[in-house]
Structure 1
């Protein structure tokens, strides 16, 4: 990470970091070593990586965040999706921004929860993320124009509605749900 942090990102529009590993709580595991998740983000803050100031820093993390499982809730009816608005900006003004500005972190599961995977096909979260990116971003004609948060919301809907864990040998994790955040 230090090597990427030290690079000149002046000609880059953003940085995207995708991590697929084991985790627990606020830690990620690699080669039997535990790393606090926050250290991953610190490499790319404004003090350590000044050529990324004002540019999106996107992190997609597939890892458990604890051992809790979600039994799910019964949904009777879906309501309308709220409309979102954006306030106009004034680019003429000079701003001082937080050191940790422009971070978008997308986790495979809620804090404290287990992140399910299929031993053969891998992560349900990553599978659905790839599906949405392949089918909603580009169709050969640049017809689709979805922002990243909308795409992530579509992934959340797929995982929330279509996914349910299947492990009859471990009833404590069988039939459970997962929610990316």
Structure 2
């Protein structure tokens, strides 16, 4: 597991609360089981009966070699998880020394570039703005062993903190709305629900339970909805 928590960069100084969110995620990772046994049909469920789920790496984004992790041998790991917390724009993630396209970063882990992750879930959780639009909200009434060719882009999941083009909110005291909700829902339902079901509950929690409070003109009473893009080909459970 790779965790990139970028608390500051040269594009903006407004990113308080990231250290809180990253701490919560590390605590969550520590609580997840290291050894997994899956009893459901392997045709529709990712195998997690590897020696370990993976590893958690907290790094300094300024000194990050983008190709390092993708070149490592992940043969003994069941999955790859990357958590990114920083500023951003649509398709772009900001670092201390410049910006990088998310498409380039994630492409390093495609099946044709990282063979040891072929057929395994590659999950990216991205806490960053995707634009400057604000959501004002609206009232509502209430496997087998046979060799199979698969696309190089298969088995990815991208969980964005907000919809395309929109601002991503965070509280200076408690961290980002998205990361709070993600940690809460995985902690609460990680032993019983499939990953996409958990992410649906994350979406609901962010959409219903959070609303901005700000004295800045135009920034008060705004909402947010995460965006989940799945190219997973099987279900993923954390159940031991």
d(CA) in 1 for partners of 2:174 and 2:137? 23
Gaps of 5+ in 2: 1-65, 228-240
Could you say what secondary structure the match of 2:218 adopts? helix
d(CA) in 1 for partners of 2:202 and 2:169? 15
Structure 1 residue ranges, 4+ long, deviating more than 4 angstroms after superposition: none
Alpha-carbon displacement from aligned partner over 1:124-179 (angstroms, at most 9, x marks no partner): 11011111122222xxxxxx3211111111111110001111112x1312101000
1:124 matched to 2:177? The reply is: yes
Aligned CA RMSD, in angstroms, stands at 1.4
May I ask how many residue pairs the two structures share in their alignment? 162
Give the drift of 1:91.
Answer: 3.6
1:33 counterpart residue number: 98
1:87 counterpart residue number: none
1:76 matched to 2:122? The reply is: no
After TM superposition, the structure 1 stretch with the greater mean CA deviation from structure 2, 17-26 or 115-124, is 115-124
* TM-score, normalised via structure 1 length: 0.85
Give the drift of 1:95.
Answer: 2.4
Give the drift of 1:94.
Answer: 3.6
Alpha-carbon displacement from aligned partner over 1:59-108 (angstroms, at most 9, x marks no partner): 0000000000111121112xxxxxxxxxxxx7465422111110000000
Gaps of 5+ in 1: 78-89, 138-143
1:43 counterpart residue number: 108
1:107 counterpart residue number: 160
* TM-score, normalised via structure 2 length: 0.65
